[in-house]
């Protein structure tokens, strides 16, 4: 064969592979509003940056008619490319080929690119669109998942791992995304569940649609499995690209610094927080009044909205923001918000992202539901995550800091580097009304006018404790600042913390309250 003929053969082979499961299957994929696996990769990565590997891989299955089946790429596309110049390892399951089901070769292609990502210390992106374990390949498929889960765990905290759910992600397949750092879902397209509607109907006799069981909104709002929700695949890719600009390639680097920008002038920090501690406000406006260009990439925006987490920049450097949200449940800590914040704090700590905590909360949420749901175990996660984190950690107490909430939200006692308070901050064991009712109960009950007496005692308690100066006098907070000074002081605190070095006692690993 001449070189020309060999080249022609190569092109022909490539063309065949690139057709995936064939025109009919591609048509079906498109008819439900989905892009093909190849289109997804090409839309997400920088133009002409994608290089595919193992496109000529062939499965070795020999049972249930598989011996005669040609499965192009064995149902998954793998390769490397860049996003805004950042190197990326990527795989995308191709539903048009045997439903993107995971057989032995399919898994080997994924684990090969995962090994590459870990070795090269670059982010890994997995696009999931699959019917799960390839039924015809039996235990080989299960082995494949096990190999993936093991690598997800090995890479955790070393390289960023992003999972994009763009189709079914059924059965054990869900555990790979669950082990990764960020999960992206798209309205009407993403479906994630352990046991599908048919199994539920057979076992429990209950009828439920895939959407109701594990659609994009379910995982964004109820389960907390998803971190980013989008209305379309293209919007989802924009979210991924934006996230990639905020995070480093691996745990030995820092995120790329951007040119600093002042916050937008329409966010007036001194006007956002009402003086009355019972009045709500949107803490995201405070973040936008602090962050460069008022840009804030919120993570898990619709789950446990009583706490806000996400990335912004201060003077060009990526910052992880953790903020109580007085708009929702007065910003209390509960099981879900503790899980949400705890995990994010650990992500930032693993990837050298300094943390800024904005505090305004009445404490942990009381009630039988919370107690029985395990608020002790879940609530401990945020304490553990902050205490363990060695990245620069700065807290600004905006208003209320009551009870366990005061301790949990990156207090000095958990080794915050800097704690600042605004003049309206109230730092106390509990709110003045509750406190006065307990400690002055006898005086109030015995008074001629109990209501008047209660008011007076609340006033007394407020004057004594509900201010920042008792804590400032003890050195628990470093200084009381005017809201307008916040950004300037944060810039300074981050600057002086750049070479922070703290040790942990030698141990194999801690035992966090999982």
Site residues (vs ligand HXC, CB under 6 A): 98-99, 101, 131-135, 142, 145, 168, 170-173, 196
What is the spatial distance between Cα 108 and Cα 93, in angstroms, rounded to a whole number?
13
Looking at the Cβ atoms of 193 and 384, the one nearer to ligand HXC is 193
From CA 222, how far away is CA 350, in angstroms rounded? Answer: 26
Query: Whole-number minimum distance, CB 71 to ligand HXC, in Å?
Result: 10
Residue nearer to ligand HXC on the CB measure, 146 or 513: 146
Would you say 134 or 284 has its CB closer to ligand HXC? 134
CB of 222 to ligand HXC, least distance (A): 21
Question: In angstroms, what is the minimal distance from the CB of 173 to ligand HXC?
Answer: 5
Quote the CA–CA distance of 444 and 201 in Å, as a whole number: 59
For the CB of residue 53, give the shortest distance to ligand HXC in the complex, in Å. 24
Least distance CB 355 / ligand HXC (angstroms): 34
Number of residues that this document lists for the chain: 514
User: How far, in whole angstroms, is CA 272 from its chain's centroid?
Assistant: 26
CA distance 248 to 256: 7
If the CB atoms of residues 131 and 248 are measured against ligand HXC, the closer one turns out to be 131
What does 390-457 look like in DSSP terms, one character per residue? -S-EEEEEEEEEEHHHHHHTT-GGGT-SEEEE-TT-EEESS-HHHHHHHHTHHHHHHSSSHHHHHHHH
DSSP state of 479: E
* Residue keyed to tokens 């329409």: 266
Tokens 């002081």 correspond to 489
Nearest to 36 by CA among 328, 298, 233, 207: 233
Residue (135 or 231) nearer to ligand HXC, CB: 135
Give me the least distance between CB of 135 and ligand HXC, in Å please: 4
Q: Of the two residues 172 and 404, which places its CB atom closer to ligand HXC in the complex? A: 172
Least Å from the CB of residue 99 to ligand HXC: 2
Q: Please, what is the minimum distance in Å from the beta carbon of residue 110 to ligand HXC?
A: 13
Residues 6+ apart with CB under 8 A from 282: 272, 325, 327
Spatial separation of the C-alpha atoms in residues 6 and 367, rounded to whole Å = 73
- Based on CB atoms, which residue is closest to ligand HXC, 199 or 438? 199
Comparing CB distances to ligand HXC, the nearer of 129 and 285 is 129
248 vs 217: CA distance, rounded Å: 29
Apex 75 CA angle, 70 and 81, nearest 5 = 130
Q: In this complex, which beta carbon is closest to ligand HXC, that of residue 73 or of residue 363?
A: 73
Beta strands in 69-209 (DSSP E): 76-83, 86-93, 124-130, 161-170, 182-186, 191-193
Intra-chain end-to-end CA distance of the chain, in Å: 62
d(CA 368, CA 426): 27
Minimal distance, residue 21 CB to ligand HXC, in Å: 7
Identity of the residue, 145 or 249, whose beta carbon is nearer to ligand HXC in the bound complex: 145
Q: Which two tokens stand for residue 186?
A: 């798209």
CB of 132 to ligand HXC, least distance (A): 3
CA torsion angle 92 98 104 106 (round to 10): -20
């Amino acid at each position: 064969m001449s070189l020309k003929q060999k080249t022609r053969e190569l092109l022909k082979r490539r063309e065949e592979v690139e057709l995936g499961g064939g025109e009919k299957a591609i048509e079906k994929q498109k008819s439900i509003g989905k892009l093909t696996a190849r289109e997804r990769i090409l839309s997400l990565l920088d133009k002409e940056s994608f290089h595919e590997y193992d496109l000529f891989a062939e499965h070795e299955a020999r049972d249930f008619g598989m011996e005669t089946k040609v499965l192009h790429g064995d149902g998954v596309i793998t390769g490397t490319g860049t996003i805004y110049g950042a190197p990326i390892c990527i795989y995308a399951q191709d539903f048009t080929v045997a439903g993107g089901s995971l057989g032995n070769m399919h898994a080997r292609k994924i684990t090969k690119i995962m090994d590459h990502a870990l070795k090269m210390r670059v982010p890994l992106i997995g696009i999931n669109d699959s019917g799960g374990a390839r039924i015809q390949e039996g235990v080989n498929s299960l082995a494949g998942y096990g190999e993936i889960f093991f690598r997800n765990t090995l890479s955790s905290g070393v390289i960023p791992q992003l999972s994009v759910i763009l189709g079914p992600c059924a059965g054990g397949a869900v555990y790979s995304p669950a082990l990764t750092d960020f999960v992206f879902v798209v309205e009407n397209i993403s479906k994630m569940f352990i046991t599908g509607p048919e199994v539920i109907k057979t076992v429990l006799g209950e009828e439920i649609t895939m959407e109701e069981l594990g659609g994009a909104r379910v995982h964004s709002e109820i389960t907390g499995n998803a971190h980013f929700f989008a209305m379309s695949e293209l919007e989802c890719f924009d979210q991924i690209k934006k996230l990639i600009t905020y995070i480093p390639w691996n745990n030995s680097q820092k995120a790329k610094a951007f040119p600093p920008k002042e916050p937008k002038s329409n966010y007036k920090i001194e006007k956002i927080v009402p003086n009355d501690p019972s009045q709500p406000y949107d803490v995201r406006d405070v973040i936008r009044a602090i962050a460069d260009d008022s840009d804030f990439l919120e993570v898990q925006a619709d789950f446990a909205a009583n706490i806000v987490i996400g990335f912004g920049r201060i003077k060009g450097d990526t910052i992880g923001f953790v903020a109580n949200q007085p708009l929702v449940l007065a910003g209390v800590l509960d099981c879900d918000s503790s899980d949400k914040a705890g995990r994010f704090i650990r992500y930032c700590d693993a990837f050298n992202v300094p943390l800024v905590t904005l505090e305004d909360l009445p404490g942990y949420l009381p009630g039988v539901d919370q107690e029985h749901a395990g608020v002790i175990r879940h609530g401990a996660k945020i304490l553990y995550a902050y205490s363990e984190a060695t990245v620069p950690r700065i807290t600004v107490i905006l208003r209320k800091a009551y009870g366990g909430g005061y301790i949990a939200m990156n207090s000095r006692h958990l080794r915050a580097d800097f704690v600042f308070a605004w003049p309206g901050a109230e730092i106390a064991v509990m709110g003045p009304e509750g406190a006065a009712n307990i400690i002055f109960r006898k005086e109030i009950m015995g008074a001629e006018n109990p209501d008047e007496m209660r008011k007076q005692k609340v006033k007394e308690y407020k004057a004594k404790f509900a201010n920042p100066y008792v804590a400032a006098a003890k050195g628990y907070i470093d200084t009381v600042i005017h809201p307008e000074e916040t950004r300037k002081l944060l810039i300074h605190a981050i600057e002086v913390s750049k070479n922070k070095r703290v040790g942990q006692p030698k141990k194999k690993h801690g035992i966090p309250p999982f």
